[in-house]
């Protein structure tokens, strides 16, 4: 009985600590959007910390990764098209 109570207490404490640390890092990242700082690095780090325990943070992180991936490939294709327009075939 005591072993189970200790286990539940450990799980709850772990979840609380991860939530507080992750939320703090995420909030600092959001503040950095309007103040000087690497917000675009800190926000995903906060989501990674929160995703250890929370499914909603994993979903947000997955959406962020997909957005970055599609935006990066779109930018590359636009650059390639621009380059093709400048190069004249001989």
Q: Per-residue pLDDT for the chain (90 aa), expressed as one digit of tens each?
A: 667 767 778 889 999 999 999 999 999 999 999 999 999 999 999 999 999 999 999 999 999 889 888 887 777 777 777 777 676 665
Determine phi and psi for 87, rounding to 5 degrees. -80, 130
Predicted TM-score (pTM) above 0.75: no
Give the pLDDT confidence score for residue 17 in this predicted structure.
95
Domain limits, the chain: 2-84
| Whole-Å CA distances, 53 to 14, 37, 71, 87, 90 | 9, 27, 28, 51, 59
For the chain, give me the number of helices (H) and strands (E)?
3, 0
The pLDDT value recorded for residue 88 is: 61
């Amino acid at each position: 009985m005591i072993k189970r109570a200790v286990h539940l207490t450990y799980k709850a404490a772990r979840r609380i600590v991860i939530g507080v640390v992750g939320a703090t890092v995420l909030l600092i990242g959001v503040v950095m959007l309007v103040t000087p700082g690497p917000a675009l690095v800190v926000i995903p780090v906060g989501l990674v910390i929160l995703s250890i325990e929370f499914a909603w943070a994993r979903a947000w992180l997955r959406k962020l990764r997909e957005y970055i991936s599609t935006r990066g490939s779109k930018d590359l294709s636009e650059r390639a098209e621009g380059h093709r327009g400048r190069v004249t075939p001989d």
